[in-house]
Amino acid sequence: MILQPILDLVSICAQKGIKQAILSPGSRCAPLTLAFARHPDIQCRTISDERSAAFIALGMAQQLESPVVLVCTSGSAAYNYAPAIAEAYFQQVPLIVITADRPSEWIDQWDGQTIRQSDIYGRHIKASLGFPDEFSHRDKVWHAHRIVNEAINLASDFPAGPVHINIPLREPFYPESGENFEFKNIRITDTIHSRLELGDIVKVQLKEKLALHRRIVIIPGQQRPNQEISKILSLLASNQQVVVVSDVISNMQSDHTITLHDHFINHAEKLDLLKPDLIISFGKSIISKGLKNFLRTSQAEHWHIQQTGYSPDTYQSLTKILSCDTESFLKVLVEELPKNESYTNTWKELDQIAKSKLTNALDRSAFGEFKAIYKILKFIPAQAKLHIANSMSIRYMNMLGAIENEIICNRGTSGIDGSNSTAVGCTFTTKDQVILITGDLAFFYDRNAFWHNYSISNLRVILLNNHAGGIFRLIEGPSKQAELEEFFETKQNLDASHLAKEFDFEYHLALSEKDLEHSMEHFFDENTRPKLIEIKTESPRNAEILKWIKREIL
């Protein structure tokens, strides 16, 4: 017999707008699995590898901007969610993580698939909630309903993030033959959100403070695209009121923002002329280490905009946290800030010089990973979503300047695990093409992303296979060590042709620029199968090419 409160849990999820669930097979979680699978308003998919399942749910929730449910059985299955949960926590992505568990009396009794699951995700979860293990009193049922409501509200409240519900379950796990599931209409608790507008008194105070600053830099951190905010930033920059420096993961790049800062921020002769006296930031992290170091040494005041919650002191100079809507604050800047042509032109001139030199250098450079991505971007469909793996893949993208497509990268923890799975999750939410650009270590690490029975025909994978972790050749410490190849690069001889055959990908191999251009001709055409192009290069050669390009730009 399936307990009614388990069915009520699913009813509450559906009533509160949750429409997607990722389930992993197991016996202890069977009541949850059956309840979700049989609810008419929730689409369920089963992913056997819990580590991959959690990243797939993350990829879906990133795009949907609403919670996705995860369900797994007891024991180590729950631990396999941990990397994706940490990523979701720091990337502020809502997930409802539901783990089946043994009743408390059986913990530490050498019973199978039993570990200590209470608070298993530590400080990388917004909350861990314990579901009742029996419902003999009506208050227990009320408590169960309350927990589910609280979990969904908390996952969605700013800053969004994962919430864990741990559910002890006793046998029997499976319904009797012919047993009907009754999904009732349960009372739900909703949170009503409103925009945090700046009051008139606060606006006057901010105007007085702004008048003290002339060299203002705006740094948008990682976020989803927002056309209204992008328009205001472009207006501020084109009016020469501020300098907007935008990493590729900000999704705020335009012709008016500074996008090639990585090429000059630590080398410019006019470095003192670039220093701001006020940094204004919003969004989450940025990629550029050079930009972070530059801002940390600038001695500028730093204001950060966010609705509520904890704000990191990224640039070691945080003086104000502005608890308001970003758009409303930026409109104040448009109205109040004067032009500063000298300051904004200094940044723009360096950015334009870097753009001209970079394009010239890439056109003349030998073929390698960097040039391959430069060439590929010319073929990318306008509406495609670009998933970029960590390590060198995202750094190459950031060095190429403004990208028009939406850029998605797991920069919450910046790990290489889960890149494939996150992109697969994205394919479940859109008919647009989803393009994954990834290195070989990230790609082969997460091969179980493709181990399921669902169509991912809109997925295109561009694999940069240099048979090593090439980034370590560019880091001064490991690059000088005798153990570089074995213990840092971790060289491997895998290629993707076998994986492509196993998971029914259309496969292309590129060993040269000519091969790549030929493969690109129809790579983004529609197909009934996903496609993969493997670009094979050599790690030492890639490092040499990148260093040569950087010298050409200086």
The conformation of residue 488, written as its DSSP 8-state character, comes to I
Torsion 477-481-485-487 (CA) sign? negative
Average pLDDT over residues 475-502: 77
Torsion 322-328-330-336 (CA) sign? negative
- CATH topology for 200-352? Rossmann fold (3.40.50)
Strand partners, 387: 408, 436
* pLDDT tens per residue, range 432-464: 999 999 999 999 999 999 999 999 999 999 999
Contact 165, 97 (CB under 8 A): yes
pLDDT of 267: 75
**Cα(321)–Cα(403) distance, integer angstroms:** 30
Contact 186, 212 (CB under 8 A): no
pLDDT of 147: 96
Give the CA distances from residue 61 to residues 58, 64, 91, 194, in Å, rounded to whole numbers and listed in that order: 5, 5, 11, 22
* pLDDT tens per residue, range 268-309: 677 889 999 999 999 999 999 999 999 999 999 999 999 888
Tell me if residue 169 falls in helix, strand or coil: coil
Average pLDDT over residues 73-94: 96
pLDDT of 476: 65
pTM for the model stands at 0.94
* pLDDT tens per residue, range 208-260: 999 999 999 999 999 999 999 999 999 999 999 999 999 999 999 999 999 99
Contact 345, 240 (CB under 8 A): yes
Element (H, E) at 282: strand 278-282
pLDDT exceeds cutoff 70 at 188:
yes
Biggest alpha carbon distance in the chain? 79
Please write down the long-range contacts of 187-196, taking CB distance under 8 Å and 24 or more positions apart. Answer: 187/145, 188/12, 188/15, 188/16, 188/149, 189/146, 189/149, 189/150, 189/153, 190/16, 190/153, 191/153, 191/156, 191/157, 195/325, 195/328, 196/307, 196/323, 196/324, 196/325, 196/328
Phi-psi region of 402 (alpha: psi -120 to 50; beta: other; left: phi over 0): beta
- Of 500, 501, 512, which Cα lies nearest the Cα of 536? 512
Is 4-168 assigned to CATH 3.20.20.70? no
Residue with token string 């570990």: 115
Tell me if residue 384 falls in helix, strand or coil: coil
Side-chain-side CA neighbours of residue 541 (13 Å) = 12
pLDDT of 393: 95
pLDDT band at 472, cuts 50/70/90?
low
Average pLDDT over residues 507-514: 96
Question: Mean pLDDT of all residues in the chain?
Answer: 92
pLDDT band at 479, cuts 50/70/90?
low
Contact 387, 60 (CB under 8 A): no
Q: Look up the CATH superfamily of 365-553.
A: Thiamin diphosphate (ThDP)-binding fold, Pyr/PP domains (3.40.50.970)
Element (H, E) at 353: helix 341-364
Buried b (16+ CB within 10 A) or exposed e, 75-106: bebbbbbbbbbbbbbbbbbbbbbbbbbbeeee
Average pLDDT over residues 198-205: 82
* pLDDT tens per residue, range 112-148: 788 898 999 999 999 999 999 888 889 999 999 999 9
- Identical fold for domains 4-168 and 200-352, yes or no, is yes
pLDDT band at 107, cuts 50/70/90?
confident
pLDDT exceeds cutoff 70 at 153:
yes
Locate the domains of the chain by residue range.
4-168, 200-352, 365-553
pLDDT of 164: 98
Of 87 and 485, which is predicted with more confidence?
87
